[in-house]
Amino acid sequence: MLILTFQCQPILNKNSTRSATPLPSNKGVYSNGHKELMMRFSLTNLIGLSLLYFSQASVSQSIEEIVEHKYAVNDGTSIHYVRAGEGPLMVFIHGFPDFWYGWREQMMSLSDQYTVVALDTRGYNLSDKPSGYENYSMDFLVGDVEAVIKNENREKAIIVGHDWGGGIAWSFAGLRPEMTHRLIIFNLPHIKRLQTELAKFEAQHEASGYARNFQLPNSHEKLTAEGLALALSRGNSKTRSRYLEAFKKSSLDAMMNYYRANFPREPYTEGQFLDIPKIQAPVLQFHGLKDTALLPSGLNNTWEEIESDWTLMTLPTANHWSHLDEAGKVNKMIRAWLEVQQD
């Protein structure tokens, strides 16, 4: 089992006889002060993000120019995605709140060697928005990714996910191992390990209070497209306008349905997250250690859930959006890791 470690976080492989040293755990609780986002990520997590390596304006202009807009259909639900480049297929899956545009830095960087496609997951932007939380269960979300891969006439892909996209990516790799060539995760502990942390009723349970509130029937009424766009603008007016346009086309109720249908419920002793098969593909995992929503303690014992290589890169200065906070660094790492993992 190959383990490559970066930064100074203790990483052990599953054959080690040494007991695992716990990874650092944030003790902060989500702020409830932002009236438009309700029980949303803290302002530190959403707005107080480090600067990108590249100009937001130039990247946003360039990405719009190079992508092709396409649609795949899963059991009658239309899934919009964008495509650029040529080579092995790499599928990017965003989290909450976001849309395909959140992967602009990775798509621009990697499209010279890969066919990069990024979804609008169901409920967001140009994808269909079926009503009812049951239409956002993980089986449907995994099926949406499968539909995109098949629409590209490929048998497998490199799967990349962040936040809820990471949950979909972990699930896809577990349930569709034959279609998962490689797996790359940003700021989402393995979903079984996340539920294990929740079941301790300690720091992660406390930090996830926003998610339990999002499960309430009227939670979407406390959100606005304007508030979400501001939170993701990173201080750039053009980026804010692009997000506002997409979020006005999105369903706020659908965004909450991801939590209603999939997020573990107390007492965390059962559910689909605990039943996921072991991951067969090699995994590259990034985690921004300033994330106050998904704590790094959930990274412990991840090797127990993976049959192949696991490479963890912790990013001490990065927040929840680590793929943007450290875009240049993670893009170089993705490229290097995929080269190491070549068959």
Catalytic residues: 163, 259, 320
Residue 97's closest CA among 325, 254, 309? 254
Residues 6+ apart with CB under 8 A from 61: none
| Structure-derived torsion over alpha carbons of residues 45, 223, 107, 236, reported in degrees to the nearest 10 | -70
Q: How far apart are CA 45 and CA 292, in angstroms?
A: 7
Instruction: Name the pairing type of β-strands 180-186 and 157-162.
Output: parallel
Bridge partners (DSSP) listed for residue 159 = 91, 183
Q: State whether residue 147 is helix, strand or coil.
A: helix
Q: Peptide bond preceding 22: is omega within 30 degrees of 0, i.e. cis?
A: no
Please, what is the angle between helix 138-151 and helix 252-262, to 10°? 110
Cβ-based burial of 229 (10 A; exposed 0-12, middle 13-18, buried ≥19): buried
